[in-house]
Structure 1
Amino acid sequence: MPDCFFARSGHYKTATTPLNCDKNAAGYFKAICMTISDQLLLMCSAIGGLNGLLLATYFFCHRTDRLTYRLLALLLLMLSVRVLKSVLFYFNPDIGKQILQLGLSACWMIGPVLYCYCQSICRPDASWRGLQWQLTLPFFVVVITGVLWPYHDNPQLWGGLIYRVINYSWLFYIGLTVLLVWRTQQRSGNSLVLTSAKYRPLLLMILSNGLIWSAFYFASYTSYISGALTFSVLLCFSVLTVFYRDKPMPQTTEAYANKKLLPADAGPLISQLEEWMQHRQPYLNADLTMPKLAKQLSWPSSRLSQLLNDNLAQTFPDYVNHWRIQHAKTLMAVEPVMKMQTLAEQSGFNSLSTFYAAFKKFTGITPARYKQSLPDLTSETINPESGTMS
């Protein structure tokens, strides 16, 4: 504590005057406040980078869809290293030049990894062998640049030309990623394809990269730490959005009026439902649920549930998958060279395994086997409603 505290309390005498005592107390209080604010700022800015490292470790160890998840892990790793470098430099400008070089090198790789991650989702035929050179080439450029012109010997070069190259190459890859997503949506012919759960993490990652790039690029007009803070906020938001699953809407508790709709009453409802499914094709949305479909029809969920269970003797998933399988059959006949992954996506399925299971359940054979029976039938068409040839 400052001398003025003890002088005022009478513990011992000091030569400090009352005026100087007040100044010392004010300075001490200000120092405490600055320390607390710095600690809060450090915690808020670093939490994103640390959580990013934890998420990267989790996705590296994920066993499902290894290519996509490992590219996502690599992307989170590069972003986290870049952000943590900024946090360390902001609070300690005298950190080693090796850390600065490591952070900027990671930033150099963010763009290529983002583009490869996008390809692993948008291109069903994407493989590690096909994407490897797109990562290897930039990696060698980063390594060779760091070896020939290390940061500690060329701080002005890294702070000038190389820094600009890193920023603009990152922006270039963000643009390529947006273009690839747009082409994917145009190719699918389904305006709802990008709203499915499969593309949600990709769209969030593109948006996050754009905002983080803007925060770092315009830091001279705001604050250098703004990029790290932006990453922390966006990472928390992305985790909540990606891993949160909408809870099913509670079903109405009212009992069915007559336990079962009479054929005369159910007939018009079935016709309305069939017409909606045939012309609007809501089943192409992989996230379609009973409450969503009922809302589109302006029905209460209980009516749709009653109609399916009692009058059509089907569950909602079976009813929707029936339409999806018929649509898949049509696509097989029209485009026999279409990849199975693309076929599943354009038919409204979230995953290839779900598509295979549903197809075999409704047809008794696998999609590949069904496809082999189509060469002589490609000139014919299939009625999506009945599934018969015409």
Structure 2
Amino acid sequence: MTISDQLLLMCSAIGGLNGLLLATYFFCHRTDRLTYRLLALLLLMLSVRVLKSVLFYFNPDIGKQILQLGLSACWMIGPVLYCYCQSICRPDASWRGLQWQLTLPFFVVVITGVLWPYHDNPQLWGGLIYRVINYSWLFYIGLTVLLVWRTQQRSGNSLVLTSAKYRPLLLMILSNGLIWSAFYFASYTSYISGALTFSVLLCFSVLTVFYRDKPMPQTTEAYANKKLLPADAGPLISQLEEWMQHRQPYLNADLTMPKLAKQLSWPSSRLSQLLNDNLAQTFPDYVNHWRIQHAKTLMAVEPVMKMQTLAEQSGFNSLSTFYAAFKKFTGITPARYKQSLPDLTSETINPESGTMS
């Protein structure tokens, strides 16, 4: 094997091997076990599919059992991707509800492999079954995109999909689309392109997660320690309030002070001064204030909405955080507030200050 072939083998196999390690890690993850276990299963299926391609590319005489295993894993990628999407987009999703969606295609794969094994039917697997697998995978990618689109439509907020909860899902959908395209159009490029695509995407995803929370360097402003005068602060407060009311950046659970300052084209220090000195609020309290007002509006409009969904659509990253913030600002729990809604229907949000009137 030449040096170029060795490098190609390493680059194409690194994604599959690291995918197996990540699948093990996510399977053992203790929080949100359903979502992480489905993600682990999805990575496992992709890794087996990719490693099969790598082995076949560098050794065309590989055993037919390995080829059948790789294609069988590929057959399950679509159903697992769709179930993973449901575990994120549907708060009421449970393993019992998703189980049949995985069990049915799994039995189809097993029965097909038993009745028509690859070893005795290479032309069938290389023709009809291979096409069924590819188009089934594409069909489930389309179903997943449709479910995400419906989730965004139900939320009525274009920013909901930018939260940390949905970011891995969107990246996984994009990755599946690219990997499917790489394998499907391999006859025009190279069969190993699918494995290389998976390796690149996996490395990119890991680097994105690693650098996501890396703090940005802050520059020292000439006015950093000077309190803004009321005459200067007034227009800035109006601009901030108008931005919060109409753009609703607080619905993004990952909103930070630097991100909000960047949206406003302000230095972070100016926003910090405005909140701490002129509005006498911390950034988390200021943002949560808007989130609670939004939650109140949702409860009035959709009183049957579940608390988990209500918290997510109001910008909170967990139900416990939502309960704590709601009680801090209102003095009562969300459930008690819901019960008192008939007496509070006249309350509205003051567009000038964002407070109840």
Query: Structure 1-normalised TM-score?
Result: 0.85
Q: CA deviation at 1:377?
A: 4.6
Residues 45 and 228, structure 1, Cα contact 8 Å, conserved in 2 = yes
Q: Describe the shift of the 1:385–1:136 C-alpha distance in structure 2 as closer, same or farther (beyond 3 A).
A: farther
Q: For the residues of structure 1 that align with 2:29 and 2:140, how far apart are their CA atoms?
A: 26
Number of aligned residue pairs: give it: 357
Q: Describe the shift of the 1:150–1:249 C-alpha distance in structure 2 as closer, same or farther (beyond 3 A).
A: same
Q: Describe the shift of the 1:389–1:307 C-alpha distance in structure 2 as closer, same or farther (beyond 3 A).
A: closer
Q: CA deviation at 1:343?
A: 1.3
Q: For the residues of structure 2 that align with 1:309 and 1:35, how far apart are their CA atoms?
A: 64
Residues 327 and 384, structure 1, Cα contact 8 Å, conserved in 2 = no
Residues 124 and 341, structure 1, Cα contact 8 Å, conserved in 2 = yes
Question: Matched residue of 1:73: which SS?
Answer: helix
1:355-377 Cα deviation digits (max 9, x unpaired): 23322332333323332333565
1:65-123 Cα deviation digits (max 9, x unpaired): 11111111000000000111111111112222111111111000000000011111111
Let me know the Cα RMSD of the aligned residues. Answer: 2.2
Residues 48 and 232, structure 1, Cα contact 8 Å, conserved in 2 = yes
1:215-249 Cα deviation digits (max 9, x unpaired): 11111222111111111111111222234324343
Higher mean displacement: 311-320 or 367-376:
367-376
Higher mean displacement: 246-255 or 67-76:
246-255
Residues 323 and 384, structure 1, Cα contact 8 Å, conserved in 2 = no
Give the corresponding residue for 1:113: 80
Question: Matched residue of 2:254: which SS?
Answer: coil
Larger Rg: 1
1:4-29 Cα deviation digits (max 9, x unpaired): xxxxxxxxxxxxxxxxxxxxxxxxxx
Residues 59 and 73, structure 1, Cα contact 8 Å, conserved in 2 = yes
Q: CA deviation at 1:290?
A: 1.8
Higher mean displacement: 47-56 or 97-106:
97-106
Percent identity over paired residues: 100
Residues 224 and 269, structure 2, Cα contact 8 Å, conserved in 1 = no
Residues 333 and 381, structure 1, Cα contact 8 Å, conserved in 2 = no
1:25-70 Cα deviation digits (max 9, x unpaired): xxxxxxxxx5212211111111100000000000001111111111
Please list every run of at least 4 consecutive aligned residues from structure 1 whose deviation after the TM superposition is greater than 6 angstroms. Answer: 384-390
Q: For the residues of structure 2 that align with 1:137 and 1:384, how far apart are their CA atoms?
A: 53
Q: Describe the shift of the 1:138–1:384 C-alpha distance in structure 2 as closer, same or farther (beyond 3 A).
A: farther
Query: Structure 2-normalised TM-score?
Result: 0.93
Q: Describe the shift of the 1:343–1:257 C-alpha distance in structure 2 as closer, same or farther (beyond 3 A).
A: closer
Q: For the residues of structure 2 that align with 1:224 and 1:72, how far apart are their CA atoms?
A: 26
Q: For the residues of structure 1 that align with 2:324 and 2:62, how far apart are their CA atoms?
A: 56
Residues 82 and 140, structure 2, Cα contact 8 Å, conserved in 1 = yes
Higher mean displacement: 172-181 or 151-160:
151-160
Q: Describe the shift of the 1:78–1:252 C-alpha distance in structure 2 as closer, same or farther (beyond 3 A).
A: same
Q: CA deviation at 1:342?
A: 1.9
Q: Which runs of 5+ in 1 are unaligned?
A: 1-33
Q: CA deviation at 1:266?
A: 2.8
Q: For the residues of structure 1 that align with 2:27 and 2:208, how far apart are their CA atoms?
A: 20
**RCO higher in structure (CA 8 A, sep ≥6):** 2
Question: Matched residue of 2:266: which SS?
Answer: coil
Q: CA deviation at 1:255?
A: 5.4
1:180-229 Cα deviation digits (max 9, x unpaired): 11111222221122222221111111111111111111112221111111
1:237-267 Cα deviation digits (max 9, x unpaired): 1222234324343344235477323334433
Higher mean displacement: 274-283 or 177-186:
274-283
